[in-house]
Each structure stands twice: as C-alpha cells, then as structure tokens.
Structure 1
Amino acid sequence: MGLITGVCTFLYHLPQIYKWLLKPYYIVSFFMTIAFLVVRKAPGLCEHLSSDREDGNSCDFDWRELEILMFLSAIVMMKNRRAITLEQHIGNLFLFSKVANVILFFRLDVRLGILYLALCVAFVMTCKAPIYMGPEYIKYFNDKTIDEELQRDGRVTWIVEFYANWSSDCQSFAPIFADLSLKYNCAGLRFGKVDIGRYGEVSQRYGVSTSPLSKQLPSLLLFQGGREVLRRPMVDKKGRAVSWTFNEENIIREFNLNELFQKSKKLNKTLAPKDESSSRAQEGDEELHEESEEAKQPTESKKDQ
C-alpha cells in the first residue's frame, strides 16, 4: 500500500518535477548528486580507482562507502520528516548528497575531493534556487512603507512574513504563503512580506533576527490596529526560535484564519471603493496582486527586490 501511495504521489507531482528539470539549479544539483556514483561505476575510469573490497573490484562500492551512503539515507529521512513541500524534500536530498560526495571523493582521492569541493563552492556562489513567482495577493514592503501601511487603517488585519532570499526555508515557504493569500485575502485581511535580509533596520524594529543560528526565518507576524498581536515562531529568552512547523494547517489554526476571514469580509461593504483606488494609485509599483473589477484572477508579481 505504501508503495502504491508513493507511486501515485510521484505521478501527481510529475509535471512539477518536469518543470524543475528545465531549471539550471536543479539540473546541476542532480548531476552533482550522482557524481560519485558515475565516477565509481564509469567503465574505463573505475578500473583505476582504489578500493577496500576483498575481491579487488574497484567498480563497486566497498563496505565503508556503503556505510556512508546508508548514513546519508538515514539523515535525509530524518530531515524530511519535518519537510513540508516537495521542494524541501528534494533540497534536503541534494544538500546532504553533496556533503556525502565530498567525504567519498576525499576518501577515494584527495585530488578528486578538492575538485568536487571547488565545484560545490562555485555552484553555491553562482547558482541560486529559483524564487517562487506564482500567483499571489501579497504586498511587498520596504523599510519606508511597512510602518505607514500597517498604521494606515486600524480596521485592516495584516499577516506579514519576514524573510530573506538567501534562506532556503523562506524559499520553501513562499508557495504556501502565496496559496494562503489567494484563499484568505480580502478588504479586512491583507498579506504582506518584507525582505529583512535587505532591510536590516526593519528586522531590528520588529525584533526578527536574520542570524541562521536564531532560526527565526521565516517569521509570521499578525498585526491588528497597527500592533503586533501574534508571531510564529515564538522566541525564547535566549533569542532562539521555538520549534514550529510552517505548514498550511498550523498557520490556519494558530492565526484563526477562518474566523478572521469571516469577520474581515464584512469590511468589504464598509471600505469605500474610492479610498481603495486612491491608495493604490499612491502605492504605485509597490502594490502587488490587488483584486480589481476587470481581473478576478491573480497574476504573477514583480517582486519589490
């Protein structure tokens, strides 16, 4: 039954996986993941490699390499228990496979290890994971607009994500937050994002640390009447984030989105359309993915980056 479920899940996500294969980041990551397997099994090359096997077959894994690969599998399975999206599962596989390959190549030949490590460094510096560019109803703030917008109308509830482009967790969370904005955005309940990796002053004002050690990225803050009333993850006395899973179910439950949405929809009748249109005109390019009378479907946004 588990096998059938896995196959069905793979087939369901097959179109999405196919799109990934067309992107340089995933293409290069895939080949770097299987690099050691290719080198160890390649005819004409594997015969010249060293091996600890008793039969002397250098074209097959020895016992130490099998141990490393089994340990890699265990680590990936443990990390993927907390993974939410398919991107996170694939990302964990790529990341720990590269780490294992570095160890395997250094053990096989120092020169191969140095070469593979140099390729990994070049890959990290030149190839970034694709940023989510799908449909959403999200306003992107900068250091000057966030305070003004949160204070503009006390009747409007804001859910704001504090993120950084370099954070893989933020990149994985992007489609989830976008999907929530499509389902719950209305006149009285709005969704926003601010890149605190770019606007450091904002991170200090709102107490969200960008340090990887604090594990506060991404952070979701709920504002009502211009004041913060809830944030996830919570932060302990030492400034470290309390473990919390960023999936759609947890966010809906913790932020009471269903109840907020029902209350906020009532503001659709009280907020004047003229006020909305004038405020949009002043916001200009900073206002992204607002509902209009002419277009009911969301379109791809140009991020305020």
Structure 2
Amino acid sequence: MSFKADFRQILKPYYWVNILLSLSYVTCKRTALICNFLFPSSDCELDTRETEILFFLIIVVMLRTRKAGSVTMVNYLSSSFVYTKIANLILWFYADIRYGLPYGALLILTALLLPEPTYSGPEHITYFRGPQTLEDELKRNKHVTWVVCVYAAWHPACVNFAPVFAELSASYSLDNLKFGKLDVGRYPDAATKYRVQDGPTSRQLPTVLLLGDGVEKMRRPNADHSGKLLKFLFSKDNVKAAFDLDGIYQECKERLSTAKICKKTEKTE
C-alpha cells in the first residue's frame, strides 16, 4: 500500500518535472542524437570533472536525506531534488554558459509554477499558540492524553513528518486522546521550555512528546544515560511502536466507555 501511494504521488507534475530536471544533463549527454546537437565537438561521454561532480552529488544526497530522516521513496526524492538540480546547474554552466542560463531560468520558473504538493488529507490536530496555551490545556483537563509534535515549519524533517503525524491524528484521535503541534519557529520560548534545540542543524526537530496527567511521559528522539541523543526515524510504524499508540488508544477508549456507563448509572439513580 505504501508503494502504491508513493507511486501515485510521484505521478503528480511536481515530481516528474523535477525528476526530468534532475536527470537532464546526464540524459542529454548520453543520448547520441541530443548530444550531437548540443555538443557537436563532444564524444558524448562524461569527462573526469563531470564524473567527480556526479559522484559528490550522490554522497551529498545520501548523507542529507538520511540526516533529514527521509524514510519513503517520496521523501528521498523531495529531499534530494534541491541537490540534484544544483548539480545539474553546475554541469550545464560547466558545459556552456549559454545552456546554464536557460536551465537556471527554468528552475526558477518551475519553483514558482509547481510548488511541492502539501498534505491535504484529514487531521485532528490542535495548533498551540505558544507553550503557555499548551500548559493551560494540560492543567484544564489532566485526564486527556496528548501527543504533541514540537516542530519548525522550515525544517525538512518536520515537513516530511507532517503528513505522517496528520494521518496518525486522524486514526487515533479520541475525546481523551488528542494530538497537537507547537511551532518553535514562531514561538522560540517553547524550544527552551521543552529542551529542544531549534537551530538549522538540530537533530531534535521534530520532537514528539507524550503528555499524560499534565506531565511528560516520554519523547522521541530521546537521550541515553550519558545524554547522547539517540537517532529516531519518524515513520508511521516507528511512531506507533515507540509510543504504543495502539495500546494507548485502547486504554483511552475503555476509559471513555467506563465514563459513559457511570454517567448513565448516575442518571438512572
């Protein structure tokens, strides 16, 4: 199912256009008909400098997408597009400035006309306006269990995790099991309060908190006994397993049933 969903996502214009842009130079250089037209004096082979640029690109994409926590095919593509297009821009300029300028203009035009598709599915998320609103909500009803994502809208890993968190909220939300988000980019005091580093190189974005009885029960990513931050990949299955969402859901559902039975008993008496 995940592969089918990824395949349907890739069929959207944003992805296949960016894939074409990312493969443009190598495709043109290795296709004899196009190569002979664009590079009449070339032997249609990648030279040493071009090979070095492509090899460096592969290393950068692997490191950056893994660091961003990309765990699906679509995530890997989205995270790598910016690096592959920059590499192609360098290659086109290296080949001929007359090709580099139109390619650069095409990148700008594509960015303006084809923004990356955002998640538009159902969600049951409360967006808190600062840490105090979250604290007030926790104090108001301590019987509600909260799953809160501390994030920054500009952070790639947070962008990748957004549809996963939205889907989880739609699947597990109850009257006493709720999902919330807190943007440390807009409310930097939240980063201090919840001990989350909010810099561009932060490995703590996103951070998911499980809050019950008005206090924090657990978080991911978390630190080990020595204070070293443990890496956590924010896939749907990983989050479900780490926080035992199925178990919490059943427990909260049973509490709701018990509360309803008690209310009916009180009314009959």
- Opposite residue 124 of structure 2, the aligned amino acid is Y
Q: Give the equivalent residue in structure 2 for 1:219.
A: 207
* Contact 2:93-2:100 at 8 Å conserved across structures: yes
Of 236, 243, 253, the residue aligned with 1:265 is: 253
Deviations 1:257-297 (A, max 9, x none): 2222222112323557xxxxxxxxxxxxxxxxxxxxxxxxx
Q: Give the equivalent residue in structure 2 for 1:176.
A: 164
1:153 offset after TM fit, Å?
Answer: 1.0
1:154 aligns with 2:142: yes
Deviations 1:104-157 (A, max 9, x none): 234334675577567767877997533322112222221253222222211111
- Opposite residue 194 of structure 1, the aligned amino acid is L
* Contact 1:163-1:197 at 8 Å conserved across structures: yes
Pair 96,236 (structure 1): closer, same or farther in 2 beyond 3 Å: farther
Moved more, 154-163 or 237-246: 237-246
Q: Give the equivalent residue in structure 1 for 2:123.
A: 136
1:201 offset after TM fit, Å?
Answer: 2.6
Q: 1:266 aligns to what SS in structure 2?
A: helix
1:216 offset after TM fit, Å?
Answer: 1.3
Q: Give the equivalent residue in structure 2 for 1:88.
A: 75
Q: Give the equivalent residue in structure 1 for 2:22.
A: 33
Length-normalised TM-score, structure 2: 0.75
Q: Give the equivalent residue in structure 2 for 1:66.
A: 51
Equivalent residues in 2 for 1:227-238, closer than 5 Å: 227-235=215-223
Deviations 1:52-98 (A, max 9, x none): xxxx51x4423442344355446545666763123212123423312
Q: Give the equivalent residue in structure 2 for 1:185.
A: 173
**2: CA distance, partners of 1:211 / 1:126:** 30
**1: CA distance, partners of 2:77 / 2:128:** 30
**2: CA distance, partners of 1:161 / 1:266:** 25
* Contact 1:215-1:240 at 8 Å conserved across structures: no
Pair 10,75 (structure 1): closer, same or farther in 2 beyond 3 Å: farther
Residue correspondences, number: 253
**1: CA distance, partners of 2:61 / 2:127:** 34
**2: CA distance, partners of 1:196 / 1:131:** 20
Give the gaps of 5 or more residues in structure 2.
261-269
1:161 offset after TM fit, Å?
Answer: 0.4
Of 9, 17, 23, the residue aligned with 1:16 is: 9
Q: Give the equivalent residue in structure 2 for 1:201.
A: 189
* Contact 1:85-1:172 at 8 Å conserved across structures: no
**1: CA distance, partners of 2:226 / 2:102:** 40
**1: CA distance, partners of 2:155 / 2:64:** 16
- Opposite residue 90 of structure 1, the aligned amino acid is L
More helix by share: 2
Pair 32,182 (structure 1): closer, same or farther in 2 beyond 3 Å: same
**2: CA distance, partners of 1:150 / 1:209:** 23
Q: 1:44 aligns to what SS in structure 2?
A: helix
User: Identity, % of aligned pairs?
Assistant: 36
1:250 offset after TM fit, Å?
Answer: 2.3
Of 237, 240, 247, the residue aligned with 1:252 is: 240
* Contact 2:10-2:16 at 8 Å conserved across structures: no
* Contact 2:147-2:179 at 8 Å conserved across structures: yes
**2: CA distance, partners of 1:253 / 1:96:** 33
1:27 offset after TM fit, Å?
Answer: 5.7
